[in-house]
Structure 1
Amino acid sequence: MDDGTPGFGIYVHWPFCAAKCPYCDFNSHVRHGGVDQQVFAGAFSREMATMRDWTGPRQVTSVFVGGGTPSLMQPETVGAILSVADDLWGLQDGIEITMEANPSSADADRFAGYRAAGINRLSLGIQALNDADLKWLGRLHDTKEARAAIEMARATFPRLSFDLIYARPGQTPAAWQAELGEAIALAADHLSLYQLTIEDGTPFKALHAAGRIAMPDEDRAAELYALTQEITAARGLPAYEISNHAAPGAQSRHNLTYWRYGDYVGTGPGAHGRFAVDGGSKRVTMAGRNPERWLSAVTEHGHGVVEEETLDTAAQADEMLLMGLRLAEGIDLARYETLAGRGFNTGRLETLQREKLVEPLSNSRIRATPAGRLVLNAVVAELAA
């Protein structure tokens, strides 16, 4: 249940995939020889115990099992990790516990096992609803498998979300409108809709540099974004964040913790955490990305964190601004001013309002307008200056 507070989340990163998608820059790894899930589950348990020592007692508002492809885990592995989290922090009944899954690893018995382990919200990586684009994106499923996975998930879990990628090469507004309409008809109460981006270090980056991927220009991308907002709002799934759409009350509690600049721990290879420490600072933790090296570090040190940072309140204010302006609810001005030690520059704020890039919400909050979200980095830079 979302009570409007930033909250405290636990993120669990399962780093393994059956294949690496050419657009993906997430920390994911293919291990054709298999993975000893029991050994990794033990390492997650040990690292979480260390992090519980770091955070002290906290009231957990959500757990998110991401990846990688968490649906490659056995239900027993998921259950073991959640049981340890419950032992360490105490997971109250009814909190949101999300797990990511791919249609290519969807199975009715496996889904039932995840539900029995405590998963109550599934996030499916659909990405497209036509076979040609699924193949181009490197996905291992086709549209028939995607629809079957959605149907299976709806029958098993109280809550469901799935992802689509748009602004694909050659995609017309008419084609996206039809595909989005089909997605909304299939959806339960939440959709994540991301514009395709070319990320460093991916096969798509090399292909794009070689002129073999023609991305939509800025005007077409903006047209597709505006169309997305219009269609989802009209169909009862308005945007509550730049790329996320939900029916009232169905927003992702875990992701709201990120965007509201709450605290969270991240466990697993490549996972990040941000949580309060004494004196108003925040501790940032970053784990090593290689799964086997992470495993060795946890065995030796009790955690796989390889990099840390301490954020003072001014740095926290900047991060809060960047995250919070992604939300339709905007940011709390008093909280920002407390962290920053100052209010916004009045002249800059008035200019952004005249340009219709930000707007007030009552007297206590501001948010980026739809036009402002298209140039959010520039808006944030102006307000933070």
Structure 2
Amino acid sequence: MSDILVLGAGYTGMAAAVRAASRTRRVGGRVTLVNASPTFTERLRLHQTAAGQSLAVHPLEEIVAGTGIDVVLGRVTGLDAERHEVRLDDGRVLGFDKLIYALGAVTDASVPGVDSHAYTFADHERAVRLSEQLGSLRSGTVVVVGGGLTGVESAAEIAEAHPRLHVVLLSRERLGSMMGECARAHLDAVLERLGVEVRTGVEVRKVLPDAVELVGGELIHSDATLWTAGTRGLPLAAGSGLSVDTRDRIVVDSVLRSVSHPDVYAVGDAAAVTQKFGVLHGTCQGGIPTALHAADSLAATLRGKTPKQFRFGYIHQPVSLGRKDAVIQFTRPDDSPRRWYLKGRLAVAYKEAVSSSPLPTYWLLKRGLVPVRAFALSAGLP
């Protein structure tokens, strides 16, 4: 019998747990899934929650039914990689033979005032609190900090749902800098149509209770501030002695094992995964393939076989712009833009299809019907 512990039941943790249960059952694998909440959170849709939309609730026990996975509810407060132990917030200690670390990333709150005065998408509850705050405002200004995909989607969603509010989007870089010219032009046009004030080339020095202070001293009044500018791994990983990079992500080898502790695998936003073109950035597009591959690597090791190397390439950059518009930039495997893109209703349909609930995927995984190879082929890899 081999005790396999999976930390985190987000997109990657759930995929890894279901896959590991399916692939290790015949070799005595016993999978335990640890999560702070009893429900699955669709993090890709938290900007919709913040804008006031109600999303379906998915209990973890229902998702894993029939897999043999044990669900343990608790927040992880300690990890001893040497002793193969995990400590929970209620004092319980769980031992493991193999561990898949899928606790994701947290908002980079190194700028003063972010923790105290800004909303983040750290969890569903905080998105709900932002929704309640926005709903209580009859007028006012909402400042969204961060010009990445999350910031753009959030600004558009809020502006569309609350036209009485003035939305200001602050970014260090040009919005859509990773897109081609045509896709970027559509993004700009939609934000302008929605009334979003975009300011680029700016840097925030401090978040105040009712304002954002820029480097240089300018104050921008804010009735609600949403911070989406950057993420990093949880301090838990570095504190456990695992090798991490400058953003506290666990450094893994070619089969997604920790380079310092080979009985620990890391996936998704929590892992620094290197490919020929560089380190993967945090997206569900790359996260679920890492989860499936880590589970397969673990299963191969338990069978005494040599795991295959992980290979991945991007295929698109899908961006929702409210409920009625979107832009999809198709990419090369290294995430550089191709000529092709979608916009408008066709892009909306595409975005909803690729970002729909992952529950059907988990259902297929239970039955062993989703090979990692399918993700590789969709990414254009040979």
TM norm. shorter chain > 0.5: no
Q: Which one scores higher on RCO, CA 8 angstroms, separation ≥ 6? A: 2
Higher helix residue share:
1
Provide the TM-score with structure 1 as the length reference: 0.30
Higher strand residue share:
2
